[in-house]
Structure 1
Amino acid sequence: MCASQDALTRTYLACQITGHTIPGDFSLIGLEPEAVLPGILPDIARPTLPVTETGHRAVDRMLWRIANPPLPYEQIMLQGGLHEGTTVRKALPLA
C-alpha cells in the first residue's frame, strides 16, 4: 500500500526496474481516491470514497452542532468501496 502518489509511482517503477511484475509478484494499492498518472501507470487499485454523501453528512453534523452546542460530540465512520483496478491479483478459489 502506498499513502502518497510519489511513493506509488516510485514503487511501481522500482518493481519494473528490478524485473518484478504487478500484480504477478506484488499487489499494489494506492490510498488516494483518484486515479494517478493515467496513461503512465496502470489502473491502480484504490479506495472509492462517497464524496457527495460525506459532504452532506458533514453539513448535517455542523448544523446539528451549532443548534446543540452542549451535547456530546458524535463520531461517524463512512465506508467506501475498493476500485480493484489491474494491480491486485485475484484470489484463487479455495478447494
Structure 2
Amino acid sequence: MSQLTELTDFLIANMPRRAMQGFDSQMDEIAFIPAQRDTGLGQYRIAIIRYNAVLTWERYPYREYDPKILMALFMSWLCQDERALFEETGIDAELPEFDIETIDQE
C-alpha cells in the first residue's frame, strides 16, 4: 500500500462525509530514487518512488469545515506514519508545504 493510499484512507475515515464529496488524490512530480536491496524470500527492492501528493476537491465546503482541520489531520497522520524507510535510505523527511487554491466562492 502506498503512503498516498494510506493518507487518503485516513482522511476519508476522519473527515465528515460531506467534506469528502468530490475528493480525489493523485501523485505528481514522480521521481525514482535507486535503493536496491534484497529484502529476503526472493523479493528485491529496486527503487523508492518519491512524489508530491495532490489532494483535490471539486467543491470543498470551506465555510463549514476550515481547511486548517485538513492540515491538522495531515500532520497527525504524518506523525504516526512509518519513517524507518526514510532513515534507512537517507531521504530527508521534509515538512509538507500546503498550497490551497479557492477556484470560486461557493
Q: Which has the higher contact order (CA 8 A, sep 6+)?
A: 1
TM range (shorter): under 0.3
Q: Which has the higher strand share?
A: 2
TM-score (norm 2): 0.24
